[in-house]
A = this chain, B = another copy of it.
Amino acid sequence: MTTIACKGFKATGLHSGLKENRDKDLGLIYSETPATVAGVFTQNKIKAAPVLLDQERIAGGMARAVIVNSGNANCCNGNQGYRHALETTAAVAQLLGVPEKEVLVSSTGVIGQKLPIDKITAAAPDLVKTLKTDGFLDFAQAIMTTDTVPKIQHLQGQENGRPYHLVGIAKGSGMIAPNMATMLCYICSDVSMPQSLLQKLLSTTVDATLNRICIDGDTSTNDTTLLLSNGCSGVTLDRMDQAAGFQNLLEQLLGSLAKQLVKDGEGTTKSVEIIVAGASSDLDARTIADTVARSPLVKTALFGMDANWGRIIAAAGRAGVPVDPDHIDIYFNQVQMTRNSMGCGENAESQASQVLREPEFSITIDLNMGPGRASVLTCDFSVEYVKINADYRS
Contact = CB atoms under 8 A, between A and B. Distances in A.
Contacts of A93: none
Interface of A: 43-47, 73, 75-78, 110-113, 174-175, 177, 179, 216-221, 294-297, 300-301, 303-304, 306, 308-311, 313-319, 322-323, 325-326, 328, 338, 340-343, 381-383, 385-387, 389-394
B387 A218 contact: no
Contact of A303 (B341, B382, B390, B393): B390
A386 B297 CA distance: 9
A306 B45 contact: no
Nearest to A215: B296
A304 B392 contact: yes
**What number of copies of this chain does the assembly contain?**
2
Given A45-B317, A46-B316, A175-B314, 17 more contacts: A44-B314, A45-B316, A46-B314, A46-B317, A46-B323, A46-B328, A47-B317, A47-B325, A73-B310, A75-B314, A111-B309, A111-B313, A112-B310, A216-B297, A306-B391, A383-B383, A385-B386
A326 B385 CA distance: 31
A45 B301 CA distance: 21
A301 B389 contact: yes
A113 B392 CA distance: 40
Contact of A306 (B174, B318, B394): B394
B216 A343 contact: no
B46 A341 contact: yes
A42 to B, nearest CB: 8
Nearest to A304: B390
A176 B340 CA distance: 26
Contacts of A77: 342
Contacts of A328: 46
A392 B45 contact: no
B46 A297 contact: no
